Structures are given as C-alpha cells and as structure tokens.
Amino acid sequence: MSPLPKPSRERLTDLFLLLTGLPSPSRHERRVADAITAFLAGVGVTTHEDKTGEAIGGDAGNLWCTVIGADPEPWVAIGAHMDTVVASDSLDPHLDTEGVFRNRRPTILGADDKAAVAAMLHATELLKASGKDFPSYEMFFSVSEETGLVGIKHMAGDVLKSPLGVVLDSTGPVGGVVSKAPSMTVFHATFRGRAAHAGVEPERGRSAIQAAGRAIAAMPLGRLDEETSANVGVIQGGVATNIVADTCHIEGECRSHDEARLAEVSGAIVDAVQRAAAETGVDVDVDLSHEFRAFALTTRSPAVRLAKAAVEGLGVEAKIMTAGGGSDANVLNARGLPTINLSIGCMCAHSPDEHVALDELERLCDLVLQIISLSPEFAPRAKETVPGS
C-alpha cells in the first residue's frame, strides 16, 4: 500500500475546537451529530442514523457509515461516542502556548471522546483526498455512552459488518491497548420510613436516612481485590433538620472481571440493604441491573494483534492494559464482534483539568490511519469467539 497521508495539525486543531465547542451531554448530542454528518457528506461519505434518540428520550441517534475503498466489504469498524458528561460551566476550548488543548472555563474540555471523533474524521478526509487505494472500513458514533453505554446497546446488532472492532475511548497517552474490561452492576435502593417531628416526638418516626446509613456502613465498598470494586455514589433524602426523614434513596455500583465475584458482592450489598431496613423498621425497595459484561482478549486475538501492530507502526511501544471501566467495546464483544479499546491521549477526563496535547491528537490520527491500513492483514472474515480469544 502507498505511504499513509500525513495529518494536518492545523486541520486537526480546527476540527477539535469545533467539536469541543459544541455542548453534547448525554441525550443532547444533536449538534455534534449534525456536524459529523455534514463533515462526512463533504468528503463523499453517507451516514446513517438510527432511532435511539426517540427510544431513550434524546435528540439524536447513533451514527454509522461505510467508507468504501479498494474492497467491497469493510475490514474494521472504528468507533467513538458523541456525548460528554455534563459540563458545570460554559465551553471555551483553546490551544495554549504549550500546544495543549484546555477549557478556559473551570469544567470539562470534552476530549473524552471528541479527540477520537476529530481524529477519525480527519483520517477519513485524508484518505478520501489522497486519490490512492485504501482498505474499506466502517465508523460509528454512539450516543449516551456516559450513562451506561445506553446508545450502543440500542444500536442494531446487524449494523456493523466488519470482522473486527476498535473503540477509541481510553484515557492516557496514545499507545494504550485495553484488552480486558470488567462487568458492572448498578444498584438502587429506596428506604421508606415514617416522618415525625425530630424535636417533639422523634420516637414516632422511622428514619429512612438512618436505615440507609446502616446499609452503607455494612456494604463492601472501595477496592475489594485486584479485579473488584464497589461504590455508593448518590444519596438523596430528607427535607428539613427538624423532620425525621421518611424517604432516602441511594445509588451505587460494583465492578469485577470475575462474574462470580460480581454476583457475590452484589448479593452482599442487597443483604446489607435488607438487613438495615429490618433493623430500623422501615420498608425498602432494592433493584439490581447488570449494565455490561466483561471481556478479555488474549494476545492471540486478531483485534489485539492489529492494535499492537498499529501502535508500533507509530514508533510507540504498545502497552497492553486492564481497564477498570467499561466502554462500547464491552457491548460489541458481548455481541461477538472482537473489539479492542485504545487510548486517545486525553488526560484527567471528566474533570476541570481535562486536557489533550496537539501532539497526542496528531498521533491518534496517525493511529487511525495505521489501523485502517493494516486491518486486512489481521481481520478474519469469519468472526472469532471473544472470550479467551
């Protein structure tokens, strides 16, 4: 194949600043979806959009497209998500004097995952303009990834035709290859007690907050072992200091690379909730939902070998990693599409310190070009089995 085109730092800067300047919290990705669709139409690529927005109460659906090159069928599907966590301030992205993208305001930048989107769009622009043959590939852009991989779960399983998948959605310097990620279960518990005046007749009350506190104190939380963690992240209850609270709601999660261990920890959390309710004389409703399933790809997997070869093609050492969080790759692997998750150069995601260097963004675009170029060497036409592959 001909030498790969070289990314334009100026073009990448313009694209990234455009995308990060568009607010796109989960379920409000319309402006970013329109920008992606318009950009790809400008280089002769037609995008498709599903009805996920309607199904989840959002304003946009998942996007996908096939970029036709020298082959009738695509070799690899490359994906990113369009949404961000909610920004606590306005978006004013800029490239500072040190060559690093930051938000001037004290909130997220949105590099997670718009660095990936910018790199994918520019790589496609370069290949289409090159006038040279390149392997056909697919791209997809999901909605509501930050709220439990909701968008990709709603995307039809027969949309992507490629035998391999690559998700660009891991933090850290370009070169990271996530080959293993955990399962996650989310829990919700609502305690219902009885209100009473806290100063005049507290004995008549049944404190839902007290029950919730006992439950949390009895839960296995934090880093439980090398593969397992649990957390309570939301507590809501009470209306005034002089009222014994009659309701309290808590939400949390547990993650593990071991399904049996995840079930054990989830069961311990439910036991703690029910026991605390019984001890304090309140009622409780508790619900568990399995959000996504773990995946583990071995070094023999074509997806891992493709990622490793692409990273090394940049002159960077590939770092095979185990993740503590999930991504769209979890869902795609569960569906039988072997999918790797790669680092995008973003640092301090989901925080006011979020940033990405222009050098990393350029390297990420180079990585996308490498993945596309090398995909025919590694992609099996028959889908492999994901677990232990």
Tell me which of 83, 125, 146, 291 is the catalytic residue.
Answer: 83
The pLDDT, as a whole number, for residue 147 is 92
pLDDT per residue over 19-47, tens digit each?
999 999 999 999 999 999 999 999 999 99
Residue 97 · residue 33 · CB < 8 Å: no
CA distances from 68 to 115, 125, 347 (A): 23, 13, 33
Q: What is the average pLDDT across 154-181? A: 97
| Of residues 78, 71, 66, 155, the one with CA closest to residue 113 | 78
Q: What is the average pLDDT across 54-60? A: 97
The pLDDT, as a whole number, for residue 260 is 95
Question: Nearest 5°: phi and psi at 62?
Answer: -65, 145
Residues 6 or more apart whose CB falls under 8 angstroms from that of 198 comprise 205, 241, 242, 243, 244
Q: How many residues are recorded in the chain?
A: 389
251 is catalytic: no
Q: How confident is the model at residue 337 (pLDDT cuts 50, 70, 90)?
A: very high
| Of residues 154, 164, 128, the one with CA closest to residue 41 | 128
Residues spanned by CATH 3.40.630.10 within the chain? 9-181+294-378
pLDDT per residue over 376-385, tens digit each?
999 876 444 4
Q: What is the average pLDDT across 297-302? A: 95
145 is catalytic: yes
β pairing state of 183-192 and 247-256: antiparallel
Residue 1 has pLDDT above 70, yes or no: no
Q: How far apart are CA 27 and CA 148, in angstroms?
A: 12
pLDDT > 90: what percent of the chain? 96
pLDDT > 70: what percent of the chain? 97
Structure tokens at 133: 């043959």
Q: What is the average pLDDT across 275-302? A: 96
Fold for the domain defined by 185-291: Alpha-Beta Plaits (3.30.70)
CA distances from 190 to 196, 218, 270 (A): 19, 16, 12
Q: How far apart are CA 383 and CA 389, in angstroms?
A: 11
Residue 315 has pLDDT above 50, yes or no: yes
**CATH top class, domain 9-181+294-378:** alpha beta
Residues spanned by CATH 3.30.70.360 within the chain? 185-291
Tell me which of 145, 291, 360, 362 is the catalytic residue.
Answer: 145
Q: How confident is the model at residue 388 (pLDDT cuts 50, 70, 90)?
A: very low
Beta bridge partners of 176: 319
pLDDT mean across residues, the chain:
95
Q: What is the average pLDDT across 146-158? A: 95
